[in-house]
Amino acid sequence: MKKIIITGGAGFIGSHVVRRFVNTYPGYQIINLDNLTYAGNLANLRDIETQPNYRFVKGDITDAPFIDSLFASEQPDAIIHLAAESHVDRSISDPIDFVLTNVVGTVVLLNAARNYWQGAYDTHRFYHVSTDEVYGALGDTGMFTEDTKYDPHSPYSASKASSDHFVRAYHDTYGIDTVISNCSNNYGSHHFPEKLIPLAINNIKNNKPVPVYGKGENVRDWLWVEDHARAIDVIFHRAAAGETYNIGGHNEWKNIDLIGLLCSIMDRKLGRPAGESAQLITFVKDRAGHDLRYAIDATKLKRELGWKPSLQFEEGLEKTVDWYLANEEWLQDVTSGHYQQYYEEQYASR
C-alpha cells in the first residue's frame, strides 16, 4: 500500500491516525482529505505538516464530482475513512448533516472506489472507521461483540449504522475489499471540547459548572486515542477482506465517577484544595434517548491480531489533562467564536 487517503484527518481521531501513519511509514504517501468543519483543525497536525510524505487536501466527501476527480488524479491504493459528524447532541438538534456526511459521504467514497478500483479490488482497501454506538445500549451486564445486532438510537448512531451497512453492501455486491472497526469512546489530546472529557477539563479550568446529564449513571468504555490509532494500523495491514473488529478499552466508567476522578486530578494540577473542583459538578436535564451503557468485547482483535490497550485510564487521563493545560492556545482557539454560541444553545435550556 503506497498512497492512502485518510478522510477526516484534521479531526480528533483522524489527526492521531494521520500522525501515526506519516511517522511510522515514511514510504507511504498520506493524503489528509478534510473539509475543515468546526471539528477540523489543521493545528492538530502542526508537528507533521512539513513531512515529505504528507499532504492536505481540502474537500467535502459529499461532493461526488470532486471525489471522483480526486480518485482519478491521485489513484489512491487505499482509503481510511474517518470523516464524519461525530457528536450525539448535535445529531439530536440537527440530524440532516449527519445523514449527508455520514451516509451520503460514505456512499460517495464507496462509489468512487467502485469506479476507480474496478477489477483490482485485491490490491486496494476501503477501511471504514465506525463506532460501538451502532449496537445500541446495554443494561447492567453483557458486552458488544462483532455479532451483536445493530440497534442504534440516536441520529448519530443511526447514520453510522447506515454507513456500515453500505460498506458491507459494497463488499458483498461489488467485491470491494472493505474492513470495518467499531470502537468505544476515545479520549486524549486534540479532542474537541463539545465531548464530555475535554468539555469538563475546560470548564473546571475556568471555574464553570460541569454539566452532568441525568444522574450521571450512564456508563462508557474509554480508550486512549493513540491505542485506537494503533488498532487501526494493525487492522488496516492485517485484517482479511470483509472483516469487522470491535475495539475497546475494557475500561467502563459511570460518568459521575469519571468526572469525580477528573476533578481530583484537576485539583492537584491546579493547586486547588481537594474537593474544590467537584463543587462545580451540576446535574442537568438528561440527553434524549440517552444510551445507558456501552461496553466492548475486543477479544477477537486480541486473539486474531494481538492488539490490546497500552495505557491505564488514570495514567491516560493525567496525560490528557497535562496536554490541555500545556496547550492553552489550542483550547482558546477552538473555544472562541462559534463554540460560545454552540455552548449557549446546548446548555442554556438544560
| Residue 329 designated active-site | no
| Residue 156 designated active-site | yes
Question: Of how many residues is the chain composed?
Answer: 350
Given the residues 34, 89, 133, 291, select the one marked as catalytic: 133
Q: Is 201 in the site for ligand TYD (CB under 6 A)?
A: no
Q: How far, in Å, CA of 130 to CA of 263, rounded? A: 30
Nearest CB to ligand NAD, comparing residues 117 and 224: 224
Considering CB distances under 5 to 8 angstroms, the limit depending on partner class, which of ligand TYD, ligand NAD, none binds residue 18?
A: none
Nearest CB to ligand NAD, comparing residues 84 and 200: 84
Look-up of cell digits 458491507: 168
Considering CB distances under 5 to 8 angstroms, the limit depending on partner class, which of ligand TYD, ligand NAD, none binds residue 213?
A: ligand TYD
Q: Minimum CB separation from ligand TYD for residue 292, in Å?
A: 9
Joined grid coordinates for residue 92: 439530536
Specify which residues 32 forms β-bridges with: 6, 56
Q: Is 34 in the site for ligand NAD (CB under 6 A)?
A: yes
Given the residues 34, 132, 226, 243, select the one marked as catalytic: 132
Considering CB distances under 5 to 8 angstroms, the limit depending on partner class, which of ligand NAD, ligand TYD, none binds residue 37?
A: ligand NAD
Q: In this structure, are residues 201 and 324 in contact, taking their beta carbons and an 8 Å threshold?
A: yes
Candidate residues 4, 67, 158, 199; the one interacting with ligand TYD per rule CB under 6 A: 199
Q: How far, in Å, CA of 215 to CA of 213, rounded? A: 6
Phi, psi of 51 (to 5 degrees): -65, 140
Q: Is 41 in the site for ligand TYD (CB under 6 A)?
A: no
State which amino acid sits at residue 252.
E
- Taking contact as CB under 6 A, which single stretch among the options 52-60, 191-199, 246-254, 309-317 is the one that binds ligand TYD? 191-199
Q: Looking only at residues 113 through 142 of this chain, which bind ligand TYD when binding is defined by CB under 6 A?
A: none
**Residue 344: in which H helix or E strand, if any?**
helix 338-347
Q: Minimum CB separation from ligand TYD for residue 277, in Å?
A: 15
Q: Looking only at residues 221 through 280 of this chain, which bind ligand TYD when binding is defined by CB under 6 A?
A: 255
Nearest CB to ligand TYD, comparing residues 170 and 224: 224
Q: Looking only at residues 150 through 189 of this chain, which bind ligand TYD when binding is defined by CB under 6 A?
A: 185
Residue of 62, 66, 56, 67 lying closest to 34 (CA atoms) = 56
Q: What is the distance, to the nearest Å, from the Cα of residue 251 to the centroid of all Cα atoms in its chain? A: 17
Q: Looking only at residues 83 through 102 of this chain, which bind ligand TYD when binding is defined by CB under 6 A?
A: 88
Q: How far, in Å, CA of 112 to CA of 99, rounded? A: 19
Q: Which of helix, strand or coil describes residue 339? A: helix
Q: Is 154 in the site for ligand NAD (CB under 6 A)?
A: no
Q: How far, in Å, CA of 334 to CA of 341, rounded? A: 12
Q: Which of helix, strand or coil describes residue 43? A: helix
Candidate residues 212, 239, 298, 317; the one interacting with ligand TYD per rule CB under 6 A: 212
Q: Looking only at residues 189 through 218 of this chain, which bind ligand NAD when binding is defined by CB under 6 A?
A: 192
Q: How far, in Å, CA of 180 to CA of 241, rounded? A: 10
Considering CB distances under 5 to 8 angstroms, the limit depending on partner class, which of ligand TYD, ligand NAD, none binds residue 211?
A: ligand TYD
Residue of 34, 32, 35 lying closest to 4 (CA atoms) = 32
Nearest CB to ligand TYD, comparing residues 33 and 266: 266
| Residue 318 designated active-site | no
Considering CB distances under 5 to 8 angstroms, the limit depending on partner class, which of ligand NAD, ligand TYD, none binds residue 34?
A: ligand NAD
- Give the max Cα distance, the chain: 65
Q: In this structure, are residues 203 and 150 in contact, taking their beta carbons and an 8 Å threshold?
A: no
Q: How far, in Å, CA of 259 to CA of 278, rounded? A: 8
List interacting residues with ligand NAD (CB under 6 A). Answer: 7-8, 10-14, 34-37, 39-40, 60-62, 82-84, 86, 101, 105, 129, 131, 160, 183, 185-186, 192
Residues recognised as catalytic? 132-133, 156
